[in-house]
């Protein structure tokens, strides 16, 4: 593999599930330790990784400077430390920068996960400790960033996520990428089928036995049980629910007030139609 193989998604769209699966799969389907083994698929925006490749501390830079620096660092990571990484970056050129944070020439291939934005809205609200309305607002905000350090240091650096629709389109319509799009709902409906496809795309063992073993090790119950026992380091401090909360599809029907569901459907109509989110 030359360059970065990315597991990309808007936040709360199933990225951690795929990482858990891959963390197990890379070790022959072994059970995984949530707090130890997920680093096998590191976040490309992890602060120490980025600081090391940039040769300085991002905590001394402004968001504009980080936006200028990131493509340069991405190329260095692709050259010196190629492999599998997760990211929530959009594939857009941030204001003030000249190229996306992860330019196409640093990328080997991309798995892009898309999830019904109404389920994302609920999951984001729980994760960040926001109201549902705030969550829906952020998903429509093209200036939405994560990884901001305030009032203390964030263990990730700044990522420009943009709105849900812009995020999805920025990756899926890029044209210059070797890309595998996956719907979260399809992953849930037929795990063996879609995870086999994932393994094949990433050049990993795609035999039925191997895939089902890793799926078992990363099943929602296995992950949620472990979080209940030992906690999960990546859970956000302000979260109002466990990280592994429900992991289902269509939960919004019971939890999202109709006017908010309507607002999501209205804001993201075009992209939702592409994925048959009705």
Interacting residue ranges for another protein, rule: CB under 8 A: 33, 35-36, 47-48, 51, 53-57, 59-62, 64-65, 68-69, 72-73, 76, 149-153, 155, 237
- Give the helix/strand (H/E) hosting 123: helix 117-128
DSSP 97: -
In angstroms, what is the minimal distance from the CB of 147 to another protein? Answer: 13
Query: Which residue's CB is nearer to another protein, number 155 or number 228?
Result: 155
Closest CA to 264 of 113, 92, 141: 141
Query: Which residue's CB is nearer to another protein, number 26 or number 122?
Result: 26
* CA pair distance 168, 139, nearest whole angstrom: 11
Count of H-run helices and E-run strands, the chain: 14, 7
In angstroms, what is the minimal distance from the CB of 95 to another protein? Answer: 14
Query: Which residue's CB is nearer to another protein, number 61 or number 265?
Result: 61
Counted residue by residue, the chain has a size of 278
Query: Which residue's CB is nearer to another protein, number 51 or number 206?
Result: 51
In angstroms, what is the minimal distance from the CB of 47 to another protein? Answer: 6
Strands (E) located in the chain? 4-9, 42-43, 83-87, 107-114, 145-146, 159-160, 179-183
In angstroms, what is the minimal distance from the CB of 157 to another protein? Answer: 10
Across the beta sheet with 4-9, what order do the strands follow?
42-43, 83-87, 4-9, 107-114, 179-183
In angstroms, what is the minimal distance from the CB of 92 to another protein? Answer: 19
Query: Which residue's CB is nearer to another protein, number 64 or number 131?
Result: 64
């Amino acid at each position: 593999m030359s360059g970065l193989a990315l597991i990309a998604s808007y936040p709360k769209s199933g990225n951690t599930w795929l990482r858990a699966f891959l963390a197990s799969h890379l070790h022959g389907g072994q059970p995984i330790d949530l707090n130890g083994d997920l680093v096998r698929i590191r976040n490309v925006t992890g602060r120490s990784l980025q600081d090391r490749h940039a040769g300085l501390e991002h905590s001394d830079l402004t968001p504009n400077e980080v936006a200028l620096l990131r493509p340069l660092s991405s190329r260095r990571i692709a050259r010196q430390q190629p492999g599998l990484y997760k990211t929530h970056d959009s594939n857009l050129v941030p204001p003030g920068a000249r190229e996306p944070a992860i330019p196409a020439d640093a990328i080997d291939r991309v798995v892009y996960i898309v999830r019904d934005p109404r389920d994302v809205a609920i999951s984001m609200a729980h994760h960040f400790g926001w109201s549902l309305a705030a969550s829906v607002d952020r998903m429509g905000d093209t200036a939405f960033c994560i990884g901001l350090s305030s009032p203390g240091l964030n263990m990730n650096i700044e990522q420009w996520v943009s709105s849900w629709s812009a995020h999805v389109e920025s990756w899926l319509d890029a044209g210059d990428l070797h890309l595998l799009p996956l719907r979260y709902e399809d992953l849930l409906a037929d795990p063996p089928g879609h995870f086999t496809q994932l393994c094949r795309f990433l050049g990993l063992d795609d035999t039925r036995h191997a895939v089902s073993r890793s799926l078992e090790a990363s099943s929602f119950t296995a992950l949620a049980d472990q979080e209940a026992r030992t906690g999960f380091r990546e859970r956000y401090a302000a979260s109002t629910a466990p990280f592994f909360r429900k992991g289902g599809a269509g939960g919004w029907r019971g939890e999202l007030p109709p006017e908010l569901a309507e607002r999501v459907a209205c804001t993201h109509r075009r992209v939702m139609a592409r994925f048959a989110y009705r």
